[in-house]
Amino acid sequence: MTPAKTAKAATGMLHLKWVVSACQAPKHHKLVIRGLGFTRLNQVIERQDTPDIRGMVAKVPHLVFVVKA
């Protein structure tokens, strides 16, 4: 990947919202929610648009909603 594409991807931001409780979710899903930085339900957080964050969101699409890409 060229440096220009990497820099462009790193400047983008994702707005994520935790919409479904993780009470009955597997332990791994709860750890992903914590790793993203959520502390309470219906919280909206902002994270950089990186492949790492996209991968974490892809693991819990039933719990987290992408508000803005």
Domains identified in the chain, total number: 1
Within 8 A by CB and 6+ apart from 25, the residues are 33, 60, 63
What pLDDT score does 68 carry? 80
Alpha helices in 1-69 (DSSP H): 3-11, 27-36, 51-59
What pLDDT score does 39 carry? 96
Tell me which residue range forms the domain holding 58: 3-68
- pTM of structure: 0.79
* Cβ-contact 66, 14 below 8 angstroms: yes
Residue 64, domain CATH: 3.30.1390.20
13-60 pLDDT, tens digit each = 999 999 999 999 999 999 999 999 999 999 999 999 999 999 999 999
Give how far Cα 6 sits from Cα of 11, 12, 35, 63, 67, Å.
9, 11, 23, 28, 23
What pLDDT score does 58 carry? 97
